[in-house]
Chains A and B, each alone.
Chain A
Amino acid sequence: MAITRKDIEHIAHLARLEVSDAEVPAYADKLDKIIGFIDTLEQAETAGLQPMAHPLQMSQRLREDAVTATDQRDHYQQNAAETTDGLYIVPRVVE
């Protein structure tokens, strides 16, 4: 399967990555190779196997339902670009 310019632009948009026109052929080439590896993987016989959800052969550990976190808002918000009245401020997201 050949990765097209359109595919690269679409994937870059979904990931919110800026990819210049000049970079597109290089990415298309690399992704093509990755897809090629997957084509090889697909030749493996997998009928009757349960799809693997995680490389570790373990099940999820559960924690007790208890509040253990304390309010450290002021501390965390020192890393924010902008805050007002405890809110994180971002550019307007609705018209």
Chain B
Amino acid sequence: MQWEVVIGLEIHAQLATQSKIFSGASTAYGAAPNTQADLVTLGYPGVLPVLNQDVVVMAAKFGLAVDATVAPRSVFARKNYFYPDLPKGYQISQYELPIVEHGHIDLTLDDGSVKRVGITRAHLEEDAGKSLHENLDGKTGIDLNRAGTPLLEIVSEPDIRSAKEAVNYMRRIHQIVRYLGISDGNMQEGSFRCDANVSVRPRGQEEFGTRTEIKNLNSFRFVEKAINFEIERQIEVLEDGGKIVQETRLYDSDRDETRSMRGKEEANDYRYFPDPDLLPVEISPEFLAAVKSAMPELPQAKADRLIEQYGLKAAEVEVLTASRAMADYFEAVAASADAQLAANWVCGELSGALNKDNVDITDSRVDAAALAQLIQRISDNTISGKIAKEVFAAMWAGEGGADEIIAAKGLKQITDSGAIEAVVDQVIADNPDQVQQFRDGKDKVLGFFVGKVMQATQGKANPGQVNQMLRDKLKS
């Protein structure tokens, strides 16, 4: 039987505010337990939530970025359940009237085709605290620092058809929230995580199969592996004549498998109702227009512009627009150096060095102005591209700027044709056998001569000049 996979993702993006969604407690990561848990966070009787205006702005920005409707009126609701990391006994969320509805993003698939994935809704809610079970004498410890941190839950339509597409979609959402500056997207710290709803159905069948939900996937790699495991598992159960049980499953990355979370799944009964402590959130056309005018350039628009403005290739632009910081860096370099060389260097040496040392572009050891200077020295023939790599390595190691290093190491290119000619003549005189081979039609030997000349000049001879001169002399 041919099976078709149906996937929908719920992404939780932690919003990059200073304070919590409903109180003035800090949201900074990594503080000592419960030092950022104020009375509202702790759910003390009599306290009232007061909504943070920045979360409304951030949600609206997201809505605009995915061509969604930003609701003129949205309502907070209580989702009731008991768990120690939720002291009030309910999570404040949005249910019937979320702040964002009916959006979409377009994914570019491997074959170059474009696929639209619908975004059903995005709503605001508060995060819960953290439970710890280790070294506590068989008890559970609760840290409520994270409780009350603003989240935007982004729910996709069940439009995704493979684990790969799911990762593609998740990367795009990740890129958008980071461009907008509404979430730091840090997956290790849990600022960006995802639940996947997965089902399979016989190809051609209209109705969906029974789905399972895989919780708390916090890396792109785990999303792909967990979904692929779950697809295989479901197909195997169905082909053995079994039935899929609707349940919540957890992905175990150590064993690369998903496991049922509870033996006896209690049907969820959250008894949502509008939170009487909060009034409806109203967004006026003027407010929305102000948000719109402050929107940064989005990834797709930026990519299109870079291709148009600098004449770059799509593959380069994909690397350059991976993050806003990367694109900003490139444009800062291209402002005072050749754009194509700038793109080559940012995508090549610079990205390589950043990856190797696991440094973010914003902390790059070679800033944009310094890289621009290096590229200028290639353009004005002070150094060759090859020597430039050596200079770059020295710059990365903190030995100074390009000009400083070129001077200190004596790397300035030899363009004096008399000096080059002397070396070329010497190399030709020293290697009569290779000269004969070249004259017999073995063109490749030219490389040997270029190598010899470069060796004799410590790579400082201008390669173009050397090539031309060798050709002329060897032919005569």
* Residues of chain A having any CB pair with chain B under 8 Å: 10, 14, 16, 53-54, 56, 58-69, 71-73, 76-77, 82, 84-94
B270-305 vs A, Cβ < 8 Å mask (1 yes, 0 no):
010010101111100000000000000000000000
Add 9 more A-B contacts to A86-B33, A86-B35, A87-B33 (CB < 8 A): A54-B278, A60-B280, A60-B282, A65-B52, A67-B25, A84-B136, A86-B143, A88-B142, A90-B141
Bound complex: CA of A67 vs CA of B24, how far in Å? Answer: 5
Bound complex: CA of A77 vs CA of B33, how far in Å? Answer: 12
Given the known A-B contacts A54-B280, A67-B25, A71-B35, are A87 and B274 also in contact in the complex, defined by CB atoms under 8 Å? no
* Residues of chain B having any CB pair with chain A under 8 Å: 17-19, 23-26, 32-39, 42, 50-56, 73, 75, 80, 82-84, 97, 131-133, 136, 138-144, 269, 271, 274, 276, 278-282
- Which of B19, B140, B279, B282 lies in contact with A89, CB distance below 8 A? B140
Bound complex: CA of A10 vs CA of B282, how far in Å? Answer: 36
- Where chain A touches its partner, the secondary structure class is loop
Given the known A-B contacts A14-B80, A63-B53, A66-B18, are A94 and B136 also in contact in the complex, defined by CB atoms under 8 Å? no
Please tell me if the beta carbons of A93 and B140 are within 8 angstroms of each other in the complex.
yes
Tell me which residues across on chain A come within 8 A of B280, comparing CB atoms.
Answer: 53-54, 59-60
Please tell me if the beta carbons of B52 and A62 are within 8 angstroms of each other in the complex.
yes
- Where chain B touches its partner, the secondary structure class is loop
Tell me which residues across on chain B come within 8 A of A53, comparing CB atoms.
Answer: 75, 97, 274, 279-280
Bound complex: CA of A90 vs CA of B137, how far in Å? Answer: 11
Bound complex: CA of A35 vs CA of B84, how far in Å? Answer: 32
Q: What's the least CB distance linking A50 to chain B, in Å?
A: 8
- Which of B53, B75, B279 lies in contact with A65, CB distance below 8 A? B53
Tell me which residues across on chain B come within 8 A of A87, comparing CB atoms.
Answer: 33-34, 132, 136, 141-143
Interface centre among B19, B34, B131, B278 (most CB of A within 10 A): B34
